[in-house]
Amino acid sequence: MQAHGNANPLETGNDDLERYALEECIKRQRIDHRTSVLVTPAGHGELAIKFARLGADVVLGDTLAVQKEIEAFILAGEWRNEMCFAECDFANIADEIPGEPFDIVVIRRGLCNLRYDEARKIVRQMLLKLRIGGKLFVSVLGLHSELGDGYGDHDQRVEARYASLSPAMAKKYGITEPLCLYSERNLFMLLLEAGASVLRTMTSTYGNVKGIAVRV
């Protein structure tokens, strides 16, 4: 349940996308009384707790490598009836994730570790794990954020973009693996090409990109 770094451009705290996702949960709870939510990668669990406090059933999706850590986090808190772990490895998405179909799926930066065509495939698979009318909330690291300074593939088309950060940024944020950074238009097209109906995209204060889409 580790996150890359803790400085502003990686936005580990509250942001607009989380606010929209939580507002969606509140609206659905008024009607259905038991909203199902998938958060992946799990991060440190703060967002899952916020959903649980609203009365949602929350699945923390992540790799088997962190299963014990996540389950210990769940057992140590007061949310064991509202939360559970499920394997959700972007390298091999399971045909069925416990708890699906979901009302809300939140993808938190994990797509940046994939090439664009792989990310598009994952988004399509995650859309199919939503109910019809369910919403997908996606956050990706921005090409025009601080992370883009000295980024090797800055001028490449997004389909070919997959490179390491500059040495200075890699050291600052502890990110050594190649990434695909996104512009707002790149994320819009990713969601559209995956078959989603795009409700909105936005760029944060720190240059990162968010999107909200619905399964139709």
pLDDT (0 to 100) of residue 14: 52
Between 2.60.120.10, 3.40.50.720, 3.40.50.150, 3.40.50.300, what CATH number should domain 10-31+39-109+122-141 receive? 3.40.50.150
* CA 186, chain centre distance (Å): 16
Quick one: tokens of 162?
Answer: 């997959």
Please list the ranges in the chain whose pLDDT falls under 50: 1-8, 12-13
pLDDT (0 to 100) of residue 86: 93
Query: What's this model's pTM, rounded to 2 decimal places?
Result: 0.91
pLDDT (0 to 100) of residue 13: 45
Q: Which residues contact 193 (CB under 8 A, 6 or more apart)?
A: 120
